């Protein structure tokens, strides 16, 4: 079986055309702005010893991210987590108002919307429940 005889005479031109088409597609899509929405889990870390979180917290945030389409395609939502660090806090209520900065996205991307946009956490001494 003679492989070169089975290939079309213009196979080099076909490969060149496909390569050029791929490079053109990459160039067009690399800078094109796009937006995607994803859910990102919320994790509370470094709860001070002797304190408990006494209010209900959301398990996930709904995050809208914008940027170059190629960067959005590389983003793996399963690897994103918003960590709320409670270290060095005392008993009481603390607000995390700027959650957009807590979403770890690459610098080429930006968070355009986040819901809920703020989380309040109530810390009480362990074993003490909140009274209304």
pLDDT (tens digit per residue) in 27-79:
776 667 889 999 999 999 999 999 999 999 999 999 999 998 888 988 888 88
Average pLDDT over residues 9-24: 86
Among 40, 33, 34, CA closest to 63: 40
CB hemisphere CA count around 19 (13 angstroms) = 6
Answer whether 48's CB lies under 8 Å from 89's CB: yes
Mean pLDDT across the chain = 86
Global model pTM greater than 0.75: no
Q: Which fold has domain 31-125?
A: RNA Polymerase Alpha Subunit; Chain A, domain 2 (2.170.120)
- Give yes or no for residue 7 having a pLDDT over 80: no
Over pLDDT 90: what percentage of the chain? 48
Which two structure tokens, joined as six digits, stand for 96?
Answer: 């995390």
* Interacting residues of 84 by C-beta distance below 8 A, sequence separation 6+: 42, 43, 44, 45, 96, 102, 119, 121
To the nearest 10°, report the CA torsion of 12, 18, 20, 22: -150
Domain ranges (residues) in the chain: 31-125
């Amino acid at each position: 079986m003679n492989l070169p005889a089975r290939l079309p005479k213009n196979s080099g031109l076909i490969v060149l055309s496909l390569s050029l088409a791929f490079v053109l597609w990459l160039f067009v899509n690399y800078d094109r702005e796009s937006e995607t929405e994803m859910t990102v889990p919320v994790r509370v870390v470094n709860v001070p010893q002797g304190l408990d979180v006494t209010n209900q917290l959301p398990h996930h945030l709904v995050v809208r991210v914008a940027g170059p389409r190629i960067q959005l395609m590389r983003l793996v939502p399963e690897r994103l987590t918003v960590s709320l660090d409670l270290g060095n806090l005392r008993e009481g209520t603390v607000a995390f108002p700027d959650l957009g900065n807590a979403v770890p996205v690459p610098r080429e991307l930006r968070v355009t919307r986040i819901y809920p946009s703020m989380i309040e956490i109530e810390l009480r001494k362990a074993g003490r429940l909140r009274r209304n």
